[in-house]
Structure formats: structure tokens, C-alpha cells
Structure 1
Amino acid sequence: METRIFFNPGDSVANIHDYNEAVRTGQIFKKERKVSDLVIAKGKDDSEYAIFYAKDQLPADHEKSKPYEVKKRL
């Protein structure tokens, strides 16, 4: 079952159409920047996968939050 999580769309590290490319980009980003806990997520009506820092998660009632379904945690 997928998890719903809320982010400000402007906080995404990258937006990519292809899921596999999003995973590769996230892995490269994680290794180069030495960061942990990235999330690959997709909005309900979005055609792209977004990469976010998990720490940037917002509460559902935040004015800039938008729901995303977590596809993979890196």
C-alpha cells in the first residue's frame, strides 16, 4: 500500500517523467550530496515523479502542501 505524504511542490529537487530515471537521479543526487532520506513521489494528477527531501514533509493543513503518493524511499 502506498503512503500519502504532503510537500510544497516548489521544494522538489527534481521532476522527471520516467520512474526509473527518477530513481537513478535520486541515487546519484544522494551519493554526490551525501544526503539521506530522499523520497520519490507522484502527485495524483501529475505526469512527473518528484524527488523530495523527506525532512521537507508538511502537515496536510499547511497552505502550500499538496498530497503525493510515495513511490520509493532512498
Structure 2
Amino acid sequence: MSMNEDVFFNPGQSIASDYDYNKAYIAAQVYHQKVEKPVLVVKEENDKPYIVFDEKAAIEEEYKEKQHAKSYKIIERIDD
């Protein structure tokens, strides 16, 4: 997944969110280390918070709940 890519996720599937990128990134790292799965830090718009998603779970939910999905821009992917 490139960093310029848009994704559509259900906001109810988020793990964490924060207006501060560093806090959102730390939450993403902690979750990634705990579950050992790829995690995405995304953003909807400039005045909205950064949101953290478990990538696989969010993608699976995306196909089930398209009517509730919102568009987000990928800011960071944590998978190592």
C-alpha cells in the first residue's frame, strides 16, 4: 500500500484516535506490538484526528459495511 492511497473504512472499527500525530503513532505501535499485525494511521481531513486501524480487520469490515465507510488518506503503515 502506498502512502498516497485512499482507503474506505468504517470509523467504528478504529483502535484509537488523536489530534496529535505522535500520540496516534505511539498507540499504533503499541497495538502492533501486542497483536503483531499491520496497523494503519490514517486521516480524514486536515481538521480531523488521526485514526488508527488494524489493517486486516478494517479491510474485512469494509466489505461488510460499505454504507458506513468513510474515505481516509493513509499517513503511516506499521508492519515491521
TM-score, length-scaled by structure 1: 0.84
Distance in 2 between the 1:52 and 1:46 partners?
A: 19
How many pairs were matched up?
72
Percent of paired sites with the same residue? 29
Q: CA RMSD in A?
A: 1.9
Distance in 2 between the 1:9 and 1:46 partners?
A: 16
Structure 1: 5+ residue runs without aligned partners?
Answer: none
Structure 1 segments of 4+ aligned residues over 3 angstroms from their partners: none
Distance in 2 between the 1:38 and 1:46 partners?
A: 22
Partner of 2:38: 37
- Hey, which of these two has a bigger chunk of helix by percent? 2
TM-score, length-scaled by structure 2: 0.78
Letter in 2 for 1:18: D
Structure 2: 5+ residue runs without aligned partners?
Answer: none
